[in-house]
């Protein structure tokens, strides 16, 4: 499908190194970017999928400097591709978040365009014996200028619908507390996907659709164009499709592309999970 404003094909998936693909995209054409790169976790993530395709993804690096250079090269392209009114969300965690903000994002976007450090708080994960348990990821939100779109009411509405759904199905934490209806805060409490979750497709590091819905509703309007340069299981694209946003997705892992195609093909007009 052609996006006439940007004059590019949208609702497309690209298989390949995102740096190469990003270099082919025109400048200032997307409204929002969600980038969930490897976190410098020093792990090799295995794949468990019935698609019979090779491997997961590797998050092992020669050094922190190599990782930061890899990320910087891609973030420079993302900045170029983002519209002057656009928003970047960069998802990371304690492994490198301090370096990412200070060494990459602030210099590129300018400190005045740093808007939020969002905390995605969840309960899953291990319990270290000699440290506090790590129960959050960081999502940096930067805009390209002071002229940007932000719709907190849409996020409030999403959260109200979620509370009503939980109340209706008698789920835990279904109290309709005052906080659920207030201006959304920078702490987003959403359970990480467990093995039994309905939307689970067994891609390591798969994020919940509901988390992406928050970001999409806050920073885009229907028909806006969203870019995810590391789609993994395709969560951003699935949420974008359900919310009638256009999208471009990239991943170098053929399994990620195949899983995302499957998820998109299976979509009927479901509400966000
Ligand atoms: C943290 S996962 C993304 C998970 C995704 N947000 C989801 O909800 O499933 C990171 C992804 O980056 C991809 N990736 C890593 N290096 C890449 C590169 N140079 N080009 C394109 N994709 C890359 C990996 O294959 C992996 O799917």
The domain spans of the chain are 2-265
Q: Each residue of 127-137: pLDDT tens digit?
A: 999 999 999 99
Report d(CA 71, CA 74) in Å as an integer.
5
Output the CA 106–ligand 1 centroid distance in Å: 23
Question: 122, 252, 272: which to mutate for ligand 1, most atoms within 8 A of CB?
Answer: 252
**Helix/strand/coil (H/E/C) assignment for every residue in 134-173:** CCEEEEEEEECCCCCCCCHHHHHHHHHHHHHHHHHHCCCC
Nearest to 162 by CA among 143, 148, 175, 145: 175
Report d(CA 208, CA 158) in Å as an integer.
14
Report d(CA 130, CA 123) in Å as an integer.
18
pTM (two decimals): 0.92
Instruction: Give the single-character DSSP code of 181.
Output: G
Task: With a cut of 60, say whether residue 250 has pLDDT above it.
Answer: yes
Q: Each residue of 14-39: pLDDT tens digit?
A: 999 999 999 999 999 999 999 999 99
Q: Each residue of 185-229: pLDDT tens digit?
A: 999 999 999 888 889 887 889 999 999 999 999 999 999 999 999
Is 143 near ligand 1, meaning CB less than 6 Å away? Answer: no
Output the CA 173–ligand 1 centroid distance in Å: 32
Output the CA 59–ligand 1 centroid distance in Å: 10
- Specify the residue for token string 């109290």: 175
Q: Residue 43 in 3-state DSSP? A: strand
CA–centroid distance for 109 within its chain: 19
Burial class of residue 121 (count of CB atoms within 10 Å of its CB; 0-12, 13-18, 19+): middle
Phi-psi region of 234 (alpha: psi -120 to 50; beta: other; left: phi over 0): left
169-198 per-residue burial string, b: 16 or more CB within 10 A, e: under 16 = eeeeebeeeeebeeebeeebebebbeeeee
What percent of the chain is predicted at pLDDT more than 70?
Answer: 89
Residue 256 CA, closest ligand 1 atom number:
27
Is 73 near ligand 1, meaning CB less than 6 Å away? Answer: no
For residues 60-82, give the mean pLDDT. 97
Integer-rounded Cα Rg, in Å, for the chain is: 18
- Specify the residue for token string 């420079």: 76
> Top-level CATH class of 2-265?
alpha beta
Q: Each residue of 86-106: pLDDT tens digit?
A: 999 999 999 999 999 999 999
Is 249 near ligand 1, meaning CB less than 6 Å away? Answer: no
Q: Each residue of 146-177: pLDDT tens digit?
A: 999 999 999 999 988 876 777 677 665 555 55
């Amino acid at each position: 499908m052609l996006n006439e404003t940007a004059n590019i094909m949208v609702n497309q998936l690209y298989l390949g190194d995102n740096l190469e693909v990003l270099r082919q995209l025109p400048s200032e054409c997307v409204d929002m970017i969600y980038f969930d790169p490897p976190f410098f976790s020093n792990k090799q993530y295995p794949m468990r999928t019935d698609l019979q395709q090779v491997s997961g993804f590797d998050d092992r690096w020669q050094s922190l400097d190599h990782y930061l250079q890899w990320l910087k090269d891609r973030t420079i392209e993302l900045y170029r591709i983002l519209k002057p009114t656009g928003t970047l969300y960069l998802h990371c965690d304690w492994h490198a978040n301090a370096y990412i903000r200070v060494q990459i994002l602030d210099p590129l976007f300018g400190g005045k365009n740093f808007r939020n450090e969002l905390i995605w708080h969840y309960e899953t994960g291990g319990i270290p014996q000699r440290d506090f348990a790590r129960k959050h990821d960081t999502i940096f939100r930067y805009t390209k200028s002071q002229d940007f779109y932000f719709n907190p009411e849409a996020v409030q509405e999403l959260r109200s619908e979620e509370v009503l759904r939980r109340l209706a199905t008698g789920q835990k934490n279904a109290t309709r507390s005052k906080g659920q209806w207030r201006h959304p805060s920078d702490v987003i409490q959403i359970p990480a996907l467990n093995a039994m979750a309905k939307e689970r497709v067994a891609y390591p590091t798969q994020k919940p659709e509901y988390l992406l819905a928050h970001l999409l509703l806050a920073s885009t309007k229907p028909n806006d164009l969203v870019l995810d340069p590391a789609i993994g299981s395709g969560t951003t694209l699935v949420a974008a499709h359900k919310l009638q946003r256009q999208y471009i997705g990239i991943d170098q892992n053929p399994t990620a592309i195949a899983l995302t195609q499957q998820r998109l093909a299976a979509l009927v007009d479901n509400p966000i999970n």
